[in-house]
Structure 1
Amino acid sequence: MNIGRLGLKGYGGARGWSGTIKSTTFPRERKEKMAEGPVTFLLNKLSNFLEYEICHFRNIQEEIIYVRDELARVKAFLKIADSLEESDEQVKVWVEQIRDLTFNIEDILDEFMLLSIQDHGHVLQAMLCKLRNMKARYRVIHELKQVNSRIKSICEGHKRFRPKLRRVGQHSRADDSDNHWYDHRSDALLLDKSDLVGIEESKRILMEHLVDGLLEREVISVVGMGGLGKTTLVKQVYDDPAVKKHFHIRVWLTFSTSCKLVELLKDMLQQIACQIRKPAPQRVDTSNKEWLKMMIKGFLLNKRYLIVLDDVWNVIEWEAIKYAFPNDGCGSRVMLTTRNADVASASQADFGGKIHESKPLNDEESWKLFCRKTFSETNLCPPSLEETCKSILKKCEGLPLPIVAISGVLASKDTQRVDEWDLVRRSLRAEIDGNDRLKKINKVLALSFNELPYYLKCCFLHLSVFPEGYGIERMRLIRLWVAEGFVEAKEGRTLEEAADYYLKEILNRSLLQVTEWTADRRVKVCRIHHLLQQIAIKKSKEQSFAARVDEQNSSWPDKVRRLSVHTKFQSSQQNMSLSQLRSLYMSGAEKSSLKAALLHVGKLLTVLDLQAVPNLGKFPMQVLEMYSLRYLSLRYTEVKTVPSSIGKLQNLETLDLKYTYVTVLPREIMELRRLRQLLVYRYETISYLHSKYGFRTPADIGSLQSLQKLCYWEADDERSCIIMRDIGKMLHLRRLCILKLKKEDGTTLCSSISRLTNLVALSVTSLDEDEEVLDLQNLSSPPPLLQRIYLKGRLLEMPHWIPTHENIVTLHLRLCCLKDDPLISLQNLPNLVHLELEKVYDWKVLHFKAKGFKKLQKLGLDNYVGLRGIEVEGGAMPSLVQLIIQRCKVLRNVPVGIEYLTTLKLLEFFDVHDELVMKLEHDDQSQDYQRVAHIPELRYGSWTDGGWDVKSVDRTGDEAGSSHGTNGRNRGELPPCWK
């Protein structure tokens, strides 16, 4: 359940607060610092180099070992230097020198290994390459020896402040032994109700959980990103008279710096003792944590207590304190605020209770708070400033903290000087960095970044390369993180699975928000809050991690590693060095900018993302000389062909040609033995027709044994049977998508699929969707991990293995024309969440039986020209959330029994009988209208003039909207059944 949104008039420390609220701290596990990340990565690379490559060049073994040993010693000091980097300019310069040095060494090693790769091949070719590369080899060896001199110089230079680092290090180690807690931010200010916006519903829900809940002890967690006002909301609840009256004991603990766990427990014991009017014990050793927890538990026993744990960062903190809270059936509660969803889940698992997700303010609430704080005399924005103010407010994205902080700065400006207000709008990023009154925004939001381990910091900083406000596909992120080298191999996990775990960690820490889910609750698209992305951009620039070219920043440093271009290159930029560049992102940049960039990119580039570069009709030939390339995306471009020289890119792992016009891949594609992701397909929609186009290849794709995703191969050529057998060799395949399957190849395909034990998703379309039979009966043992199945084409009967495969989560069946009702066999699938059925059976009346489809959440029914009625028994589909019915021209009534679907949130009708639409539109008294009265949102419409004319009724406000409203589907967009 989501709590409501709140606004706050002030936000900051607990200055002025009184009562039982005190600031305390908690121990946190030590995180590897960002300064260590490049060094750690390089040390691993050096170790691998010494193990596998050095045998070819014994004469540089001594230099490599020296570099490795010196960097290992430096790494020990980087743990300490990281904490001084912000406050000590000398240390900051030293850390920058180390970072720059590690990049240089990495370049040397990669160039050396690239030369070694070029030496392999046919005998004559290898000899020619060795002769040609000999000079380059000696240059690389010379550069490596020069690096040793630089290391000596840097290490000599840092001896001047080494005593300072040692003192800090000793202090840190003492803190570690005493279980110090990390510092983060001060408490929220004590606010009056008149200072808040949008808090009423949130407070009501929390009050209800506190006062009216069970007698068992429970925990109530308020979760959300920094700046949402979680603490302010909980403080309003904590101070409510009804709460004060209900609980015998109330304690507030805030997790901040400078105190140990023992001090936290002492503080809690003292607060409790004061309220129950008993002296806290003095004679026993109060440095014993277990004894303190035992005393606290004794004092709380048989009393109804409320303990607030404000800003808990990780599960370790919760684990360390939870045993002090007894469960004695008095209705006691623990409330906690956190940015980490894992903390909320862990506490709920231990104590039971509720998790509330704190949400940003909506547009109306944001504007109300902004005007109240900016124009305090009238609470009204002058018309001349309204457009500028709304543009500034949009950057805050509903976060109360920045709204209040920015309002405070604007409140002092002359409302007649429109130019001053517009300057803030245009330079908000610089304004936040330079204005002391706004720095607290960065301070609060940056805390979540500072708490990350170094491997997640890389992933977070990487978010700086995307355009602002951009929806980022989950799988794109995962592939990029793997290609960038951010992901560490874990036993029992693929790199992609490890990257997915990283993404979940970042989401759980509220540093990303999910904007789109799949029907089976997998993350599909996410985005980063504007202000969090500004932090990523700023820190990326400071740490030489990445640079971006956009409207606000038109230059980059000389030694940039990652470059993201979102605008056209200026002529002065075209001569800037890109020799050390490893990743280039050209999201939507001009074709001329791409040409200018590719002229200066070196051969060590590993990531080239050209997604949506306009007017790019030809494969960029410069790419074929980038032998280190691991990731290449031409998605959403107009590229039509792939050259045979693609085989030179031996390190390529991802080739993304989705939504291009490529239909044939050359034979040389089979030479890409490291290829993990091959995406070559597009969709086209004309009126009702929705078509997919894949690719053909003369290659024996069975050679691509590292492949995990193959989408979409067109299987209608003369070699299809051979390739079908080859698929069985791709043991790492997780997603397989095939178009134009011939009936005679079905048995061979089934034989291959049975060997793909890692397969998770399978999509198969027959050669002629209306006539060709899809023969998949001979799959004797379906892959155990198979969860998502998409079949399109005639089936003589339901494949016997589908109704018995308990792991199926998503099932799409289209144009199957079955002879028997499939609902009978499918209704008992225990984990089925998403079901789409298009013209699978000639129903006159479609009947859903009681206890069927227990976990189904989304159901789509499409293209049933003879369907006259739908019946739902009580107890059927008890979890259904969304029901879509379309192209059922004779359907005149809503499903009988739809009132039993109490969890239904959205009901959609498209191209059904006009009589049904009329009943839904205005007739509040009709029986059909009353049956759907419990459903929050209705959508209905028809295809007219080349687009969907959609209307939407929001039952929460009972307001109808057109296809252009926020609740309606955009005109021309496909209904969900067809996506």
Structure 2
Amino acid sequence: MAMITTNNRYLIVLDDVWQAAAWDQLKVAFPHDNGEEGSILITTRSHEVAKNCCTSPNDPVYEMKRLQMDDSEKLFFKTVFESGKCPNDLLKVSNAILARCNGLPLAIVSIGRMLARRQDKTSAEWQAVCDRLGSELETNPTLEGMRRILALSYNDLPYHLKACFLYLCAFPEDFEIRRGSLIRRWAAEGLIIGMYDRSLEEIAQICLDEIVSRNIIIPGQIGCSGKIKSCKVHDIMLEVIIAKSVKENFISFLGSSQYNTTAGHDKVRRLSIHPGGTQEKRTFSSKNIVHTRSLTILNSTEKPVLIKFSRLILLRVLDLEGCGWLRNKDLKDICKLSLLRYLSLRNTAISQLPNAVGKLKELVTLDVRETSVVEFPKGITWLQNLNHLLVGGYSYYTRTRSVKHFWWNDGAKVPRGLGNMCALQRISHVDISTEKSSNAMGELGKLRQLTRLCVVNRKEAKLWKPFAKSLDELSNSLRYLMVVDASEKVEELKFLAYLKNPPLSLQSLHLVGRLTRLPGWVSSLSNLASLSLRQTYQLAKDSFEVLAKLPSLVSLKLYDKGYTGRALFEEGWFPQLKQLVVDNLVQLEELSFRGGAPNLERLTLYFPCVPRGGVNGIGKEKLRKLREVEFFGVVIESIFEQVCEAAKEYPNHLKVTREDRPTTTTEAAQGQGAVSRSQPIRWICLH
């Protein structure tokens, strides 16, 4: 190979490289300096392998995107029909099939070939194939190639990741799986092996990152650090792991069409009930579910027939998120499940937890977010193994989740005795608007494992005093802090400036409430990666320069009067910033990039009116680095057109989203070419 490539022009393609070691063995045969004489193209499923194949750490990796619907249709119709055109009566079912393929060329071509061989090309026949795609994958020889390739992705996983990956089929099709919930469930299920210097959640996060790097799940929201916040399983891959799971009795299913079975196994160890099951009564009556250790029922409107929580005494994981039928009275039996380690009642009609919740001595995670729970009972303080106490809710100002904030009317009051919960690592969101709950905050200093804390106060400033005292005692452990003052009084957050031992190890800080200046210790937050400010519009002008010099700041979100004046990104400022959200800053005078924020990748702009000084400095060099730009509210046409031109130049690199609105006479007169902030008509998305 070395002789052939020397002094010759060449293009070498290495397709589907699985291991970095394979490239390490091959690369010695190629010239170390290709110059302009040759190129080597390597394809792989693993991001880690791709980075290892780069000649330098800064070399870009071209990530193949899934096909858009137009391209999917062209490929599918060309595979199925000689003419490349689809009859009108098959268009609807074709779209349903393509939706399940989700832009994956392998699936589109394989299923297209299978349908092309069928003589009966009717809508009913194709719909039947779409509905029973899982069984077709198992039995149809035409799909053998796809089945084998997909199975390789599973078989190549290390042993410790196979169970974690199979576990993803507990979630229904198209369900957005949140990272935090998933890793806490993995830990509660015993799928994660602990290490002496890391928590189970930290190890679970490493496992998830490794699965993501293999491109066998679909990333959803991506955080500013590059880690995923949510994910989905591709419909075709989901069929593969469901079949594998049923065969190995890893997870059993009800309401999942062709997998409404436990494959003859007597003991159901994990049970996932998907919406829309029609055979629940018949199936349940013939199955032994008393050995079930994990029960998942998501987004269900009716209680499954014959589910009796009192019988499921071996349950360790119970996830009832979105179950509209769940009521307070159901908690009586749930609180008798003494082995429970994970309990999610999120987004249900629950309004009050019984004191008996304190009997769940093994509980590690209690999630009552997006419920009507406003106060925890005294029994909550008996849970000495509890790591995560989650309450409250979020609302979104735009249609994307990059602009998200805590809805401060939510939150729950806590009782005295909080200091007994020595295992607590995360508390959110605590409402200290009563004297009893405020005094309970004085015990936080005893919780030396506490790393994440969110606190809300809707009353007078004196209620912050016990909390402030505890903050001084938590300076070494806290990594995430959110402080919300919803009283709308002047400078209610000024107590933060007088902390004796401020939390200098913070990695994430979120402040809501009026301030004249940032606490002096903010400039010393060398590890701070994420900062958001809301309604802090009285901040002094020098506050922006303080933020600009934070060495590790990756994400900056300025919401709803979070900043007043000119936001200037000077040369050398914000060296690590990757995400900037400017949302509803009514008094923003100018947004200008003057050489600052050289690594900015994601930009969200939501203007209620055009800043007087405009938006400047988004030049070609800046656009070359950007990966995603979102426009909402009043859109400055010149900036939007400039970004769109860059998106055409970098089609696989820059994604542009815009909320399109009609221009009003008043705004047109401003000469800014802006779009009004009335009800949105449609979306434009370029990528």
TM-score, with normalisation over the residues of structure 1?
Answer: 0.61
Tell me by how many angstroms 1:606 deviates: 0.5
Paired position in structure 1 for 2:435 = 718
Partner of 1:42: none
CA contact (8 A) 1:797 1:818 kept: yes
Residues 897/317 of structure 1: CA separation in 2 closer, same or farther (3 Å cut) = closer
What is the DSSP-based 3-state SS (H/G/I as helix, E as strand, rest coil) of the residue aligned with 2:212? helix
Task: Tell me, in whole angstroms, the C-alpha distance in 2 between the residues paired with 1:527 and 1:965.
Answer: 25
Alignment-derived partner of residue 527 in structure 1: 232
1:736 is aligned to: 453
CA contact (8 A) 1:586 1:609 kept: yes
- From 517, 521, 536, the equivalent of 1:801 is 521
Alignment-derived partner of residue 530 in structure 2 = 810
Shift of residue 640 of structure 1? 0.4
SS at match of 2:138: helix
CA contact (8 A) 2:660 2:683 kept: no
Matching residue's letter, 1:342: E
Residue in 2 aligned with 1:707?
424
Gaps of 5+ in 1: 1-248, 250-271, 277-299, 921-926, 945-960, 970-979
Residue in structure 1 matched with residue 68 of structure 2 by the alignment: 362
Q: Give me the whole-angstrom Cα distance separating, in 1, the residues matched to 2:60 and 2:539.
A: 48
Change (3 A) 1:909 1:584: closer
Higher relative contact order (CA 8 A, sep 6+): 1
Aligned partner of 1:610 in structure 2 is: 320
- 2:131 pairs, out of 423, 426, 429, with 426
The one-letter code of the counterpart of 1:695 is A
Q: Is the 8 A contact 2:346 2:369 kept in 1?
A: yes
Q: How many Å separate the matches in 1 of 2:641 and 2:683?
A: 25
Select which of 455, 478, 482 maps to 2:183.
478
User: CA separation in 1, counterparts of 2:642 and 2:50?
Assistant: 38
Are the structure 2 counterparts of residues 563 and 415 from structure 1 closer, same or farther at C-alpha, using a change threshold of 3 Å?
Answer: same
> What does residue 3 of structure 1 align with?
none
| Maintained 8 Å contact 1:587/1:610 | yes
User: Residues 727-806 of structure 1: matches in 2 within 5 Å?
Assistant: 727-740=444-457, 743-744=461-462, 746=464, 748-754=466-472, 755-771=474-490, 773-774=492-493, 775-783=495-503, 785-806=505-526
Please say if 1:558 is aligned against 2:558: no
Label 1:858 to 1:935 Cα distance change in 2 as closer, same or farther (>3 A). farther
Q: Are 1:572 and 2:282 an aligned pair? A: yes
- SS of match in other structure, 1:438: helix
- Residue matched to 2:369: 658
1:563 corresponds to which letter in structure 2? L
What's the offset of the Cα at 1:499? 0.1
Q: For 1:917-955, what per-residue CA distance to the aligned partner results, in whole angstroms no more than 9, with x for missing partners? A: 6x63xxxxxx777776756446356899xxxxxxxxxxx
Partner of 2:651: none
Q: Distance in 2 between matches of 1:317 and 1:910?
A: 47
| 1:333 shift after superposition | 4.4
User: How many Å apart are 1:637 and its aligned residue?
Assistant: 0.5
Please say if residues 532 and 557 of structure 2, whose CA atoms lie closer than 8 Å, have aligned partners that are also in contact: yes
State how many pairs are aligned: 644
What's the C-alpha RMSD, in Å, of the aligned pairs? 3.2
Deviation at 1:451, TM superposition (A): 1.4
Deviations 1:158-200 (A, max 9, x none): xxxxxxxxxxxxxxxxxxxxxxxxxxxxxxxxxxxxxxxxxxx
CA drift at 1:748: 4.8
Letter in 1 for 2:393: R
Q: Relative to structure 1, is the Cα distance of residues 527 and 864 closer, same or farther in structure 2, using a 3 angstrom cutoff?
A: closer
2:296 paired residue number? 585
When residues 405 and 930 of structure 1 are mapped into structure 2, their CA distance, relative to the original with a 3 A threshold, is: closer
User: Is the 1:666–1:699 contact (alpha carbons within 8 Å) kept by the matching residues of 2?
Assistant: no
Q: CA deviation at 1:670?
A: 1.0
Is the Cα contact below 8 Å between 1:432 and 1:439 reproduced in 2?
yes
Deviations 1:124-161 (A, max 9, x none): xxxxxxxxxxxxxxxxxxxxxxxxxxxxxxxxxxxxxx
Query: Any idea what SS the aligned residue of 1:967 has?
Result: strand
Letter of the 1:665 counterpart:
F
Q: Percent identical across equivalent pairs?
A: 32
Give ranges in structure 2 of 5+ residues lacking alignment.
399-404, 648-655, 664-677
Give, in angstroms, the shift of residue 729 of structure 1.
Answer: 1.8
Classify the secondary structure of the residue corresponding to 1:790: strand
- Alpha carbons 1:589, 1:613 under 8 Å: kept: yes
State the Cα distance separating 1:704 from its structure 2 match. 1.4
Aligned to 1:644: 355
Determine which of 374, 384, 403 is the counterpart of 2:80.
374
Residues in 2 aligned to 1:663 and 1:673: alpha-carbon distance in whole angstroms: 21
Distance 1:696 1:653 in 2: 20
Contact 1:731–1:756, Cα closer than 8 Å, also in 2: no
- Matched ranges for 1:295-374 at <5 A: 307-328=12-33, 330=35, 331-348=37-54, 353-374=59-80
Q: 1:313 to 1:329 in 2, by over 3 A?
A: closer
Contact 1:773 1:796 in 2 (8 A): no
SS of structure 2 residue aligned to 1:523: coil
Partner of 1:827: 548
1:339 Cα deviation from its structure 2 partner: 1.7
How far 1:675 moved relative to its partner? Answer: 0.6
Inter-CA distance 570–932: structure 2 relative to 1 (3 Å threshold)? closer
- Provide the C-alpha distance between the structure 1 equivalents of 2:545 and 2:428, rounded to a whole number of angstroms: 32
The 1:866/1:460 distance shift into structure 2, 3 A limit, reads closer
Q: In structure 2, what residue type is equivalent to 1:358?
A: M
Deviation of the 1:391 alpha carbon: 1.5
* Greater per-residue helix proportion: 1
Contact 1:684 1:691 in 2 (8 A): no
The reply to whether residue 501 of structure 1 matches residue 206 of structure 2 is: yes
Give distance in 2, aligned partners of 1:364 and 1:941. 22
**CA deviation profile, 1:602-650 (whole Å, cap 9, x unmatched):** 3111000001111323243221221111010011111001011111111
Deviation of the 1:836 alpha carbon = 2.2
Distance 1:500 1:819, change over 3 A: closer
Q: Which residue pairs with 1:195 in the alignment?
A: none
1:654 is displaced (CA, Å) by 0.6
Q: Distance in 2 between matches of 1:842 and 1:420?
A: 59
Structure 1 residues 689 and 433: CA distance shift in structure 2, 3 A: closer
Inter-CA distance 578–940: structure 2 relative to 1 (3 Å threshold):
closer
Query: Displacement of 1:460 after TM fit?
Result: 0.8
TM alignment of 1:150-169, pairs within 5 A: none
Aligned to 1:598: 308
Given the two structures, how large is their TM-score scaled by the length of structure 2?
0.85
Q: Which stretch of structure 1 is more off in the superposition, 705-714 or 839-848?
A: 839-848
> Partner amino acid for 2:513?
G
State the structure with more CA Rg: 1
